[in-house]
Amino acid sequence: MIMPPEPATILVTGATGYIGGRLAPRLVRQGYTVRALARDPRRLGSLAAAGVACVAGDVLRPETLAPALAGVDVAYYLIHSMEAGPDFAARDREAAANFAAACAAAGVRRIIYLGGLGRPGPALSKHLASRQEVGDVLRAGAVPVTELRAAIIVGAGSASFEIIRDLARKLPLMICPRWVRSRCEPIALDQVLAYLIGALREPRTIGEVLEIGGGEVLTYEAMMRQCALALGKRIRILVVPVLTPRLSAYWLNLVTSVPMHIARPLVEGLRNDVVTTDQRIREWIPVAPLTFRAAVARALAEEYAGPLATRWTGAAAGAGAAASWTGTVVGDEQRRAAAVPAAALFATIERIGGATGWYYGDWLWRLRGLVDRLLGGVGMRRGRRDPVAIAVGDPIDFWRVEDFVPGHLLRLRAEMKVPGAATLEFAVEDQPGGGAVLAQRARFQPRGVWGRVYWNALRPLHLLVFRGMADGIVRAAEAGATARSAAS
């Protein structure tokens, strides 16, 4: 196999995800021509600013892949469908088969895939087995594949790391199942990225399945204790035999920032030992060692420093049903005049959610988030990617940004558990005589009888909250303008 000449043209799939969003800019800095693939390229605005070409494509719609793959030498496959719910394994098989065929048709020379560690067999969790099955499906195609397998990735924004961090931070006493004694070889985010880029340049990795790890084998119990020490806390852990993976996932759903549909497959995977047994890649691609404690310290420092480049929340949860907006659609519209320009009014809207709150009845929003968590939904703990900046695809508590026009429009799509599809939209316009007007619109498409019951039962509460929120946005915008005027 002849390695592609450098600088090569690289395609990164899964670019809205945790690893892909970090890998693409590093490849650009290494001198490669990089494309990032997403169903909606607007979600890749930060990558475009870093010199990445953002292209549209959907691995579940193979006819969309040819333009994105034209002229590509190497493709990184960093996609998984765990966010899609119980049928994620079938979706992953279909997506991988589509991508392998499209790469072969486009003349791609190589695929690099990041999968999961674990000894193959009937005891392997559904999540880890699916990750390895994706590698098998890719290898069944005509394009040579390099598969790297990793356990827990320790880095700011990683779902697995946030579970460990949240448990260590919030609980002085933990009653844990036996899986906390499973053995794991965690690996730091920077090490994963170094191996992914190193594999691009190392011909001995072509056609190989290689295991990557940080070199330090720990139990999950030990990792939680070390993380607690890094946070300046001490924890007590009581191991009991009666907690099933399902009960454990419910507990993580309530205590950590990671929702049920992600927590459950991750917990099931924690039953398996995930330790490297093949160290060839350490000889081929030298990567600086980093202990788990040092990796945790690095991750916490990045969290404290400010908004993260990527986080597990970047992938859409898919909890909210897609709306057709035909048939029965109900909703609410509030219009308010504001004694400030549209730019100032919209700047207030841009800060909605997260630490800022929802400008009215924040305790009601928190209560709704708690109910959503109890139902297995995403709840309110995801917060925001950035306290001010917004991009299409960003999570904002239990909503996701569906459309964003700077200075004019913000539309959110609901990802909480709800019997239907819901959006919340804010639009502002300047008025000819001065000031601006806010148009706030909520739309709900009920799904079946329960959807109509839900809307009608909560209609008085929705009316109270929506009215209060519109008033609160205008008050906050006018108060901000007054404060700025007084300061000047």
Check which CATH number belongs to the domain holding 348 and give it: 3.30.530.20
pLDDT in 10s for each residue of the chain, 488 residues = 445 445 589 999 999 889 999 999 999 999 999 999 999 888 888 898 899 999 999 999 999 999 999 999 999 999 987 655 567 888 899 999 999 999 999 999 999 999 999 888 888 888 888 899 999 999 999 999 999 999 999 999 898 898 889 888 888 888 777 778 889 999 999 999 999 999 999 999 999 999 999 999 999 999 999 999 999 998 888 887 766 667 777 777 777 888 777 777 777 777 888 999 999 999 999 999 899 999 999 999 999 887 888 888 877 544 444 555 667 889 999 999 999 999 999 999 999 999 999 999 999 999 999 999 888 888 888 888 888 989 898 999 999 999 999 999 999 999 999 999 999 999 999 999 889 999 999 999 999 899 999 999 999 999 999 999 999 999 999 999 888 877 76
Q: Judge contact between 220 and 161, C-beta under 8 A.
A: no
Report which of 32, 97, 69 is spatially closest to residue 23, judged by C-alpha positions.
32
Question: CA-to-CA distance for 198 and 182, rounded, in angstroms?
Answer: 30
C-alpha distances (whole Å) from 134 to each of 19, 213, 309 are 17, 20, 27
In-domain check, residue 323 = no
161 and 291 within one domain? yes
Question: CA-to-CA distance for 269 and 179, rounded, in angstroms?
Answer: 9
CATH of the domain at 224: 3.40.50.720
Q: What is the pTM of this model?
A: 0.86
Interacting residues of 275 by C-beta distance below 8 A, sequence separation 6+: 117, 151, 183, 184, 185, 213, 217
302 and 336 within one domain? no
278 and 175 within one domain? yes
357 and 304 within one domain? no
Q: Judge contact between 364 and 465, C-beta under 8 A.
A: yes
Number of domains in the chain: 2
In-domain check, residue 254 = yes
C-alpha distances (whole Å) from 160 to each of 54, 267, 275 are 28, 10, 16
Helix pair 260-270, 126-139: axis angle to 10 deg: 90
Per the structure, the complete domain to which residue 51 belongs is given by 9-314
274 and 183 within one domain? yes
